[in-house]
Amino acid sequence: MEYETVQGTSVPKIGLGTWQTAGQETYGAVRTALAAGYRHIDTAQAYGNERYVGNAIHDADVDREDVFLTTKVRPDRFRPGRLKRSVANSIRKLDTTYVDLLLLHWPNPLADLRETMEAMADLVERGDVRHVGVSNFSKKRLMKAQRVSPEPIFTNQVKFHPFKPQRELLRYCQDSDVLLTAYSPLGTGGVLDDDLLRRIGARYDKTPAQVALRWATQHQNVVAIPKSTSQDHIEQNIDIFDFKLDREELDRIARPDPVKNGLAFAKGTIGI
Ligand code: A2P
């Protein structure tokens, strides 16, 4: 495993995403991932699966302290009282005493961001939360969160894959010691039959998914959280640290304009 260090804290470069997984499927995926060596798990209140993530970590042969655990607050719960109650609930469901990282799941233009970030900071002070961050924030909104937050913003979790390389946001994160957490690093499946990734993968005996994840994780300040419930894919997605893409391959893989390469929009798999 490789790690990314921001603000003095190291985070495993690959974590397990649990978006759109539920119940026993979530439990099984997290158990499989922990057995395969994952030590970074991502969930959210909105996924409705925190209880299963918690059970899986509890039942697995790992120490809670060794797992980097993220959850996210639903945007309709950003008022301080509601936020604090909802996080206490999340922590209970996750069967733990703290989360490593607490994110605002999406921007909520109706909420007072300063008040919300102050409530998050209170949770850090109490020891319920180690780091705070945001998700689906533009660079401008991220900068505003940094201005009003008493605690440093640890990450902005956004969609990041070869057709959405987030260049401006990433450069900003790199310059300001903020982690960029890449969700949907496989383009929600959209990069899996990409010809270039297949050809590059053949050089290293790797699948297109592995090449996409290597590409993401070779960027400084980036960690990736591919989602999978299949044992084979979960194991494959962490088996990417025994090869390295060269400069030319890294550049060719990023194709920010999906219209030009023709497939993404046509298939409806690559969102903005
Ligand atoms: P599955 O659960 O069957 O593995 P993303 O993280 O970009 O949103 O992509 C998630 C999708 O990609 C899921 O449908 C998942 O299905 C699939 N997936 C995850 N890892 C792999 C892999 N290594 N090879 C092929 N498909 C994968």
- Smallest CA separation from ligand 1 atom 12, residue: 189
- Smallest CA separation from ligand 1 atom 23, residue: 233
* DSSP letters for 18-34: -TT--HHHHHHHHHHHH
- Smallest CA separation from ligand 1 atom 20, residue: 233
CA distance 136 to 196: 28
Question: What ligand 1 atom has the least distance to the C-alpha of 187?
Answer: 7
Q: Are strands 9-12 and 3-6 parallel, antiparallel or unpaired?
A: antiparallel
- CA 98 to the chain's CA centroid: 18
Which residue has 């790199």 as its token pair?
174
Give the number of residues written for the chain. Answer: 272
121 Cβ partners below 8 Å, 6+ apart? 132, 149, 150, 151
CA of 143 to the centre of ligand 1 (A): 32
CA distance 259 to 122: 45
**Residues with catalytic annotation?**
47
Question: What ligand 1 atom has the least distance to the C-alpha of 213?
Answer: 23
pLDDT digit of tens for each residue in the chain (272 aa)? 999 999 999 999 999 999 988 899 999 999 999 999 999 999 999 999 999 999 999 999 999 999 999 999 999 999 999 999 999 999 999 999 999 999 999 999 999 999 999 999 999 999 999 999 999 999 999 999 999 999 999 999 999 999 999 999 999 999 999 999 999 999 977 799 999 999 999 999 999 999 999 999 999 999 999 999 999 999 999 999 999 999 999 999 999 865 544 454 445 444 43
DSSP letter (8 states) at residue 247: H
What the block records as the tokens of 246 is 């060269």
Question: What ligand 1 atom has the least distance to the C-alpha of 232?
Answer: 23
Segment (H or E) for 91? helix 80-93
Mutating to test ligand 1, I would choose from 211, 227, 231, 270 the residue with most ligand atoms within 8 A of its C-beta, which is 227
Identity at 112, one-letter amino acid code? D
Segment (H or E) for 134? strand 129-135
Question: What ligand 1 atom has the least distance to the C-alpha of 191?
Answer: 7
Angle among Cα 221, 225, 231 to the nearest 5 degrees reads 145
**What is the pTM (predicted TM-score) of this model?**
0.95
Ligand 1 contacts (CB < 6 A) are 17, 184-189, 192, 207, 209, 226-230, 233, 236-237
CA of 98 to the centre of ligand 1 (A): 29
- pLDDT given at position 256: 87
What the block records as the tokens of 270 is 């690559």
CA of 42 to the centre of ligand 1 (A): 15
What the block records as the tokens of 79 is 């008022």
